Chains A and B, each alone.
Chain A
Amino acid sequence: MASIIIEAAGLTKSYGEICALKPLDLSVPEGEWLSVMGHSGSGKSTLLNLVGGLDRPTAGTLKVGGEDLLGRDEDGLARFRREFVGIIFQQHHLVPYLTALENVMLAQYFHSLPDEAEARTALERVGLGRRLKNRPGELSGGEQQRVCIARAIINSPRLLLGDEPTGNLDGSSTTMVLELLRELRSQERFTVVMVTHNQEVADWGDRTIHMDDGLLVREERKVF
């Protein structure tokens, strides 16, 4: 049995009156691919933000990779993010004035040191060896999302979070991105938590949890 990477108990998040996440218990073993499904507003993105250290829970306990995220201040969370987590967003958030290579190097900069050779290799691994010097505006949606993947894995995170990473992509690009993620995961052995509302995409995972109105309603495990 692999060790537990995410361990949440009674995790709650409310924005003022609105309760985005009702008390939730979750544990994810290291190396698992977990899909989180639900309609918009079901609290799945909130869960992802909490697990990724982007936001702090209102109540409950949350341990990621053995680190207690509740005891950390904002800068402590930032340090946690850069060493533990890689994030891929739905809108491929890239810095518009930096080239693909530089976007990857930016993540290296915040993590430790920029290293051009390593960033180049990472982009070659996601099949963008020939688009290193292009800016995001010159890349297609699928290519942009691949840059995001290269950026997310450059610092060898133990946890890769995806917030609808294929939401803006057409079918073939979606398959390509998910294939790529699967391949990288088999090499790097990181844990994936991916939020989606698409059953097909969710089916790529080992386990799927369904959320509704801030509650975990159903859990299904893929049978091999």
Chain B
Amino acid sequence: MVFLKQIPQFLVWMLLLLLLLRGFPGRRRAVSFWSTGGFALGVAGYLLLARLLPVRVPLGIIRSVMGGSFLLLWGVAVASLYRSTVRDFPLLRLDRFTPLCAMVGSGAAGLMAGGICANQLPAPDGSLLRFLPFLLLPLAGALLAVIARSVEGVVIPSYAATPSSLLAAVVALLLLSSSAAITLDLFSPLSMKVMKGTHDFVHQFMESILIPDHLFIRPEIWGYIGFLFGKEVGFWGGMIIWFTPVLLIALAIWLEPLPSVAQFRQGARRRLLLAAAIREKKHRMVIPALALVAFAAAAYRSSFPSVEYWDPKPLAVTATPAGEILIPRKGEVELEDGRMHKYLYKQGDKEVRFFILMNPSGKLTVDLDACAICKPDGYGQTEGMLLCYYCKTLIPLDTVGRPGGCNPVPVPFRELEDGVHLDASSLVNSWNQTVQSTTRSKEGGK
């Protein structure tokens, strides 16, 4: 059952192996050995770190390595484009180091794949039953490596992998693999960073040129500025950053000059060589195309994650004539079960959504179901995190209740014996302020 869920991961791992085998045709043995070893080591390392340290640490390591390799891909992409146009670029003459590359590359890829796969398993808690999958995982990885080695010659025809396209495909597949877990995903944080960056830039810019909010700027202009604040900017900006390296690598292959055939007297010979070179070039585009598909799949999976959220339907609450809302500590819902409980309060035609949550340190907190930045799409709860539906930011449960950033806006409350007491009017005011300011900048001055 646990392994059924892992099938996509295994497929990716298999593809990864096929690619590595294809990328270092002379060193199939070293590739299979190091990548399988790396995989096992990755699983073991993850297990060890997750048991000894908070789970944040291995996750952080995987994320930073993935981020780093993505940056490396950017560097390689730019360099290979440069090389294909200027011909000689000493940094990429790695031919001498091929054995080392094969070893380190497949080892690192295996390590990451192992870590990511291990992360997908239910967290170990010391019992043997939970521990068993972690033992089986390296075995499955090794089995798949054996299968991949025997299949490699048959499955993929003579599509050659250039070093840069190999790197692109490996990184893409690892990113695809890691996009399955919302805590490891990179695309959504990337687009969120772009969105926030633009947001801050526009803010700073507006302040620096001393344009007060409404005085000179007409509503139409707000419409355009509002666009810069929207999710779209983040999404498209993220897309550009996400896909450019692969496209650059493909472009580099495309721009590589055809071989010189002037020395041959026979026209037929010349044409034959040129046609073969063009065909070969097309074949070399296959792996970047595969990488592109993997990148797209990762971005898709990240935008529509298959994670299940705890997202309760808001319960309607009413206020006493004195304007106080009481939510009992026990009763219909158990407030202190560590889960988010959403409520809906209506005053006239105003609706306020808020939630109550006991954070891991055991304190109750009451917050609006909206933050000070995004459109009020609300939050969902995943393991140890809240997720903002609009910008897909993850908020650790410890920090819920603190103001700022994409955190939900906290609401003052009094905690008494019978439950949580809220002031209806301040709740409505807080909602109005938050929602007004966020919708104004989002939808352009309306």
Contact = CB atoms under 8 A, between A and B. Distances in A.
Nearest to A154: B268
25 contacts: A83-B272, A108-B271, A111-B268, A111-B271, A111-B272, A111-B275, A112-B268, A112-B272, A112-B274, A113-B271, A113-B275, A113-B278, A115-B267, A115-B271, A118-B267, A118-B271, A121-B267, A154-B267, A154-B268, A155-B268, A155-B271, A156-B266, A156-B267, A156-B268, A156-B269
Contacts of B272: 83, 111-112
Interface residues on A, range: 10 to 19
B275 A112 contact: yes
A179 B271 CA distance: 28
Q: Which 10 A-B pairs have the closest CB atoms?
A: A112-B275, A156-B268, A112-B271, A118-B267, A155-B268, A112-B272, A113-B271, A156-B266, A113-B275, A113-B274
Interface residues of B, number: 10
Name the prevailing secondary structure of the B interface residues: helix
Contacts of B267: 115, 118, 121, 154, 156
Interface of A: 83, 108, 111-113, 115, 118, 121, 154-156
A115 B278 CA distance: 15
Interface string B273-284: 011101000000
Contacts of B274: 112-113
A160 to B, nearest CB: 13
A156 B273 CA distance: 14
Among the interface residues B268, B275, B278, which one has the most CB atoms of the partner chain A within 10 A? B268
A108 B274 CA distance: 12
A113 B274 CA distance: 8
A82 to B, nearest CB: 10
A191 B274 CA distance: 26
Given A113-B275, A113-B278, A118-B271, 13 more contacts: A108-B271, A111-B268, A112-B268, A112-B271, A112-B272, A112-B274, A112-B275, A115-B271, A118-B267, A154-B267, A156-B266, A156-B267, A156-B269
Nearest to A119: B267
A96 B132 CA distance: 73
Contacts of A118: 267, 271
Nearest to B271: A112
B271 to A, nearest CB: 4
Contacts of B271: 108, 111-113, 115, 118, 155
